[in-house]
Amino acid sequence: MKILKFGGTSVGSAERMQGVANLINNDERKIVVLSAMSGTTNNLVKITEFLYSQKKDSANNLIDLLEENYNKVIKELYSRQELLQEGKELIESHFNYIRSFTQDIFTIHEEKAILAQGELISTALFHIYLKEQNIKSELLPALNFMRIDTNGEPDNYYIKENIERELDKFPDINLFITQGYICRNLYGEVDNLKRGGSDYSASLIGAAINAEEIQIWTDISGFHNNDPRYVSNTHSIPQLSFDEAAELAYFGAKILHPSSIQPAKMANIPVRLKNTLKPDDKGTLISGKAEGEGIKAVAAKDPITSIKIKSGRMLLVYGFLRKVFEVFERYKTSIDMITTSEVAVSVTIDDTTYLNDIVEELKQYGIVETSSDQTIICIVGENIIEQRGFIDKIFDALKHFNIKMISYGGSRHNISILVDSADKKDALISLNEIF
């Protein structure tokens, strides 16, 4: 069985959905994971923001607009009258559901329920289209098997048990459609795997059923050696190891959700990145193999905040770092980079929800300074830290920028550098020119 995930642009119009149906119409047994149509989740986020701030008219206007757009999509998507009617009723019921939240006080659980509508709609519309094309398929509701625990981490045992049970109901079906991104939490409420989470869904499902391959279909022909949003002349990389890809995804390569490589790596399932618009392009294969030497790719992650704790007492005091890290642990805030000296330790975080509390607690251990608007630039390649002269090249490329922190030697294949976000684009371009 293969898992094929199609992102927002890949299902972003009636024509694109029809394209996806062509791509998946063969005898291979597969689960197709879909994102919401492009732009939908952003609009749903806006609707929830309007509702939080009691701007009910703005929320209703946007709901109407979005519904109108979906009604246009189905007119292009279906040709049979009864299926057009089915599509219309489906859209109406989802939008009436969203509208129902404009009546009362708005809560976090309702926000998650609204955000889930994008994937629920795209999969249902696609399923109806397959029906029109006489392509036999089953819609698997992700809310029946995808679940996170109290820490927001996937409950792998639950996912495996429940997706297997769902699949066992249809032994004669070769094509399953399900929603990316959405899940339930420990209390059974609708939740999600954070923005861009459909990649993560695909990988979790792949690992749960021990799939042969996980394919991530998007709008670019695989993993590029630098961020194509900021740098021109980037090119696609044919092969990456799980560790290299995980590092790049975690440190900002938007093509993959930050956590999406981990489940595939644990289950040793290859991940293939493909372009929906150019399906014959090779794309990128991510597997357990590490090939080639030297730099493979650069990614950038922000907004990052750095926190420096200066303490004259740190010298020769064991247990100091433990105390510092425990503060972050108490606030469930993960640290990305660390550098130390005898009198100070600097760390970076991306989740600033509890920044003020963290800083207050850290003050008992020394003088605390924070800097916001920072960017981590992550340089990845097999064995790069063992190559003589490699770091010289990096410093040379970055000589005109203010380097704030460096993390070198944490793993064989990653060097991370902290710069001001204002320097991000030029630093990425400069690194691209040097390598």
* Interacting residue ranges for ligand ASP, rule: CB under 6 A: 7-8, 35-36, 41, 118, 180-181, 195-198
Least distance (Å) between residue 418 CB and ligand ASP: 26
Least distance (Å) between residue 17 CB and ligand ASP: 15
Q: Is 12 in the site for Mg ion (CB under 5 A)?
A: no
Pick 10 or 333: Cβ nearer ligand ADP: 10
Pick 113 or 415: Cβ nearer ligand ASP: 113
Dihedral (Cα; 200, 201, 205, 211), 10-degree rounding: -50
Q: Is 366 in the site for Mg ion (CB under 5 A)?
A: no
User: Which residue among 254, 282, 310, 323 contacts ligand ADP (CB under 6 A)?
Assistant: 254
Torsion sign over Cα 359, 364, 369, 374: negative
Question: Is 114 in contact with 48 (CB distance < 8 Å)?
Answer: yes
Pick 228 or 270: Cβ nearer ligand ADP: 228
- Sort 433 into a burial class: Cβ within 10 Å, 0-12 / 13-18 / 19+: exposed
Least distance (Å) between residue 219 CB and ligand ADP: 5
Residue keyed to tokens 């069985």: 1
Q: Is 229 in the site for ligand ADP (CB under 6 A)?
A: yes
- Sort 78 into a burial class: Cβ within 10 Å, 0-12 / 13-18 / 19+: buried
Least distance (Å) between residue 272 CB and ligand ADP: 14
Work out what residue 183 binds among Mg ion, ligand ADP, ligand ASP, none; the CB cut-off runs from 5 to 8 Å by kind: none
Q: What does the alpha-carbon distance between residue 199 and residue 217 come to, in Å, rounded to a whole number? A: 10
Q: Is 196 in the site for Mg ion (CB under 5 A)?
A: yes
Least distance (Å) between residue 199 CB and ligand ADP: 6
Pick 201 or 333: Cβ nearer ligand ADP: 201
Q: Using CB under 6 A, which of the segments 41-49, 202-210, 239-247, 248-256 binds ligand ADP?
A: 248-256
Q: What does the alpha-carbon distance between residue 380 and residue 171 come to, in Å, rounded to a whole number? A: 43
Q: CA angle, 326 as apex, 322 and 329 as ends, to 5°?
A: 140
Alpha-carbon distances, residue 286 vs 117, 248, 275, 432 (angstroms): 31, 12, 15, 22
Positions 352 through 391 that interact with ligand ADP (CB under 6 A):
none
Q: Is 119 in the site for ligand ADP (CB under 6 A)?
A: no
Q: What does the alpha-carbon distance between residue 10 and residue 33 come to, in Å, rounded to a whole number? A: 11
Dihedral (Cα; 318, 322, 327, 331), 10-degree rounding: 180
Least distance (Å) between residue 257 CB and ligand ADP: 8
CA 81 to chain centre: 37
Least distance (Å) between residue 199 CB and Mg ion: 6
Retrieve residue 113's tokens.
């329920």
Work out what residue 195 binds among Mg ion, ligand ADP, ligand ASP, none; the CB cut-off runs from 5 to 8 Å by kind: ligand ASP
Question: Is 167 in contact with 176 (CB distance < 8 Å)?
Answer: yes
Q: CA angle, 234 as apex, 232 and 235 as ends, to 5°?
A: 150
Q: Is 154 in the site for ligand ADP (CB under 6 A)?
A: no
User: Which residue among 227, 243, 336, 361 contacts ligand ADP (CB under 6 A)?
Assistant: 227
Pick 274 or 413: Cβ nearer Mg ion: 274
User: Which residue among 39, 152, 228, 270 contacts ligand ADP (CB under 6 A)?
Assistant: 228
Q: What does the alpha-carbon distance between residue 174 and residue 56 come to, in Å, rounded to a whole number? A: 44
Cα atoms in the Cβ-side hemisphere of radius 13 Å centred on 66: 30
Q: What does the alpha-carbon distance between residue 12 and residue 194 come to, in Å, rounded to a whole number? A: 20
Least distance (Å) between residue 35 CB and ligand ASP: 3
Q: Is 219 in the site for ligand ADP (CB under 6 A)?
A: yes
DSSP state of 320: H
Strands 175-179 and 138-140: parallel
Pick 196 or 222: Cβ nearer Mg ion: 196
Work out what residue 365 binds among ligand ASP, Mg ion, ligand ADP, none; the CB cut-off runs from 5 to 8 Å by kind: none
Residues that bind ligand ADP (CB under 6 A): 7-10, 35, 196, 218-220, 223-224, 227-229, 253-255, 297, 299
Residues that bind Mg ion (CB under 5 A): 7, 196
